[in-house]
Structure 1
């Protein structure tokens, strides 16, 4: 048993140790640069170090663990800082904004894909990945429309590249347009960025409170994953464009359910202050380590390897997605 555990967890140590070290460094430097904060510095340090000194393959397993698993746990612990009163700030306008955003992104992405000559499967996966939750949505959509593995891999790469660019630019656009408006900035990031990690990273460039509210918008999108997969499968079957596999059971990710459960508990039961404070501190460290790992795994060379048509597709979708968010935030009077 002991040997099995060592065999399982030893490969994690180099990348996990590096992610923790970068997070600690970021926290220390943040003492002298409080305006930037530990989370922002963690991802910036990670990007610099990951593209210069730490490109070794042995680090990949541990940084992937830090990026995904620790981030999921940080989302769960975020529930201890959120109550029904917090969620009520989103209101029906927030829900309407998310539905309108998802519909706009799906329709426009498919139309742009057709215009540029991409297959219907690739356009559909691109639409779902940008509208819902990046790679997770693409992984759920691909079997339901009969997409090939190479198509899925190409779209995942493109969506992640686009999400990275938007993660690094939208926070600055938001603060330039909305100043310190919490809900508007949160809606911009939580309603557009592709993965949970990108939402957390992008919102961290503004402030911790924006992370909490941006995640509410993001989780609302994730909850609609089952609906989006079902609609895409029905569309593929009607078009008869592929051998569509039977729809697998698509469920909301475990950490979303756990987040909502903790939120309900926190709303219904007055928990001891030390419990909430402890959850916040641990969650903040998990988040900082995860952001360091995201930075370490961000490979700028991938931007140069993709073809011009792929980059054009991503750029156009990103522009439409951003403009749609700005228009809908105004129409739904968010902020």
Structure 2
């Protein structure tokens, strides 16, 4: 038993080590290209290396471990950066904007995906990643709906690429449409961009004050992660229960439950700032390593085969997100 455990850990080390190295290189490259960010660069570098130099089978165990377990741990640690008091700071208009915005994105992403011929799992993952918090949301939802590694890897790559494009475009669009309106800028960027890093990077292209308020919108979206995971899991369960009898399981994954419990703790007790800062730092690194692993595992030939459809899918969802956000900012009078 002990020998098996040792052998299993040894099998993980090469792929895990490579994922960490790629993540470090991505972070270092981000110092020269801060607008892209370490996570995006890590997944892009992983794709290049995984489809050229590092195709060896012995790396698979470690990259799979990095992709799944580290992304789950990243979701848990994200809870230390979130409190329920965030909602009260946005007010009813801000909360209404986020709820309607997320609903529109989920429905439209699933509808567009179906029309383009993608599987329901791909549509759900695309909806989750764009509506909530990018890779973390996809990592949380994927196991609950039985999505396979290819589906998860392809959607995470697409969401990150889409987020990078929107991160660079939205600050310009927001400045043209909303002038000097702090809340409007914050709602547009914090209510649409996929990852926390993209929100920070995009908002910083306007000013530092926008970063702070955009993060309020973003963190409130993250609070709804548990709700989104639960809804999609129950939806999947109803569909599969009609044909297959499965053993009853806890309604939400352990890491999503842990995320919720930590949110409650963080909202109830004032944790030391170094503690929450450390959790955020580790969470960011875990996510970057996981994204590097996803890049290393992504079969570029399969992705390119679906390329035109994926490109249309990403651009369509991004366009709907942007237009919906602009319209809802006006409707909810966020200015």
Structure-1-length-normalised TM-score? 0.69
* Inter-partner Cα distance in structure 2 for 1:185 and 1:104: 16
Residue matched to 2:305 = 305
- Please show how residues 120-159 of structure 1 align to structure 2 within 5 Å: 125=121, 127-132=123-128, 133-134=137-138, 137=141, 140=144, 159=155
1:82/1:108 CA distance change after superposition, 3 Å: closer
- Unaligned 5+ segments in structure 2 are 129-136, 176-181, 205-210
| 8 Å Cα contact 1:129-1:136 kept in structure 2 | no
CA gap of 1:104–1:33, structure 2 versus 1, over 3 A, is closer
C-alpha change, 1:65 and 1:202, in structure 2 (3 Å) is farther
Shift of the 243–333 alpha-carbon distance from structure 1 to 2, 3 Å rule, reads: same
1:75 shift after superposition: 2.8
Give the corresponding residue for 2:178. none
Matched, 1:331 2:335: no
How far, CA to CA, are the matches of 1:262 and 1:157 in structure 2?
27
Q: Deviations over 1:27-67 (max 9, x none)?
A: 44556666765445434433443343223333233223223
Structure 2 length-normalised TM: 0.69
- Are residues 267 and 325 of structure 1, via their aligned partners in 2, closer, same or farther at CA, if it must alter by over 3 Å? same
Q: Give the deviation of 1:220 after TM superposition.
A: 0.9
Q: Deviations over 1:119-146 (max 9, x none)?
A: xxx675555333335476566457xxxx
Q: Does 1:223 align with 2:227?
A: yes
* Aligned position for 1:174: 170
The whole-number CA distance in structure 1 between the counterparts of 2:313 and 2:34 is 38
Give unpaired runs (5+ residues) of structure 1. 143-148, 191-198
**Deviation string for 1:262-286 (max 9, x for gaps)?**
2332333233444334334433332
SS of equivalent residue, structure 2 residue 192? helix
CA distance in 2, matches of 1:224, 1:327: 23
Tell me, in whole angstroms, the C-alpha distance in 2 between the residues paired with 1:110 and 1:35. 29
Q: How many residues align?
A: 310
**Shift in Å at residue 6 of structure 1?**
1.6
Change (3 A) 1:58 1:323: farther
- Whole-angstrom distance in 2 between the partners of 1:172 and 1:20: 27
CA RMSD of aligned residues (A): 4.3
Alpha-carbon distance change, 318 to 29 in structure 1, aligned in 2, over 3 angstroms: closer
- Residue 259 of structure 1 is matched in structure 2 by 259
Alpha-carbon distance between aligned partners in 1 of 2:142 and 2:280, rounded to the nearest angstrom: 31
Q: Distance in 1 between matches of 2:166 and 2:30?
A: 22
Contact 1:39/1:288 (8 A) holds in 2: yes
